Structure 1
């Protein structure tokens, strides 16, 4: 940052750690300054941004807007591999977006988090120390926190990440009236499971869901959005669910891969046992009300009297 007469000129790019730069589109377009800094690779994090110098530098592009509802965490594994490979081999990389404040800072923070085992706050502080103007949007900050909660492993095998993706499906449904690609919970009948909470069809005993698939809630009136991050009774953020109220007549679960219509974009449908076709419940992306009075969105509802539940001793 350069101070002038009555104004401040922001640097187009700043070195955060050795070999890693964060900057703007203006930095990416300035070939002379890129060569002066020894840049060898460029990571563009912007929607429909064509490389300015495709023959002079090695590029990677992430096509994304600077909006809180954008899913940027899905790219972290790929961008971390790219950035890490450059630095480990003695190269220098510029991570840029348009203003060099939100998207690029988020991607650089994810790399630092994984490399140095940092929290989201620590990684952002490291970048801000070198580039004070950074300001990731609120959705990206939440996703950096989720990245930490996932122990830097973005995988659909993890319930917390699947719930994040489902929350994005809900927002997509509200905005466009249809459901995007759904990442569903794995079918427990196809897995070798350790002793754990398991729900089976009462009629044919087919394994349907595990405890990890259940979306618990507190009883009572009010709206509960399906979320990967909820608050407990003391208002403290926690990625874990509330204890299920045993008085509720239904279990609310995440979408499961054995449910009919899940991958066909159906907004609502019956939930039947995939083996004996017994009716278990129903789902609706607009939500439904539990017997306790809580409205839950989206609603994947299985009636308790249609399943048998076993718990580890």
Structure 2
């Protein structure tokens, strides 16, 4: 868990679970940018404090002091407010559509308390979102925003697809607003086109074919009158046999 700006941290799933489980206190808002699905009470079972390094425990402990200094009346028993954005760490993942919600949540959280942005490992998805927030908040380029983030968390490395979308986001947050909007929309459409899953065409069941033992004609099951391991009679042969009966 690394401090990016006053009241803003980037971290891992393990860091988030420390606060969501109630084992640690101090973070008031948690932005989870990964497809997580925890039932009530599962945070406690998922969190393992022994897995934290001494450095992590020290960082988590400092957050409580920071919140106490910022909000002396903060309730230690109050659970963090969590927002889940189900992003996949894929170059085809549409990031642009979620940035407004992410930035709004981070900004409101920073004003009211302390925010933790996390994914699973804290490398790509959370780094992309925090980079976008810094670009918006401090009017930075992609390179400058990511560079200043790396000063806090040197492992931050958004994937190539996220970087392309951050470039489009940069144009929309600079003076080239009209061009930026067009580029962002264009980039968003390309991402959406790549992520559209075409519905599978229904596959008709294969028709089982039989050979009539009398005429050797190939017939489907619907055309058979009697079937057994030894005998298959088609309609035509069965009708002929009936007509020839004395």
**Larger Rg computed on CA atoms:** 2
Structure 2 equivalent of residue 160 of structure 1: 183
Query: Which 4+ runs in 1 deviate beyond 6 A?
Result: 152-155
Structure 2 equivalent of residue 119 of structure 1: 141
1:137 aligns with 2:137: no
Q: CA RMSD in A?
A: 2.7
In proportion to residue count, which structure has more strand?
1
Q: CA deviation at 1:94?
A: 0.4
Structure 1: runs of 5+ lacking an equivalent: 1-12, 179-313
Partner Cα distance (1:46, 1:34) in 2: 21
Q: How does 1:262-281 map to 2 (within 5 A)?
A: none
Greater RCO structure (CA 8 Å; 6+ sep) = 2
SS of 2:190's equivalent?
A: helix
Contact 2:119/2:126 (8 A) holds in 1? yes
Contact 1:77/1:154 (8 A) holds in 2? no
Contact 1:40/1:57 (8 A) holds in 2? yes
In proportion to residue count, which structure has more helix?
2
Partner Cα distance (2:177, 2:37) in 1: 25
Structure 1 equivalent of residue 11 of structure 2: 23
Structure 2: runs of 5+ lacking an equivalent: 45-76, 200-246
Query: Residue by residue, what CA displacement relative to the aligned partner does 1:86-126 show, whole Å, maximum 9, x if unpaired?
Result: 1123x100000000111111111111110100001111111
Partner Cα distance (2:91, 2:103) in 1: 21
Partner Cα distance (2:83, 2:177) in 1: 20
Aligned residues: 160
State TM-score, norm by structure 1. Answer: 0.47
Q: 1:170 to 1:118 in 2, by over 3 A?
A: same
Q: 1:154 to 1:99 in 2, by over 3 A?
A: farther
SS of 2:87's equivalent?
A: coil
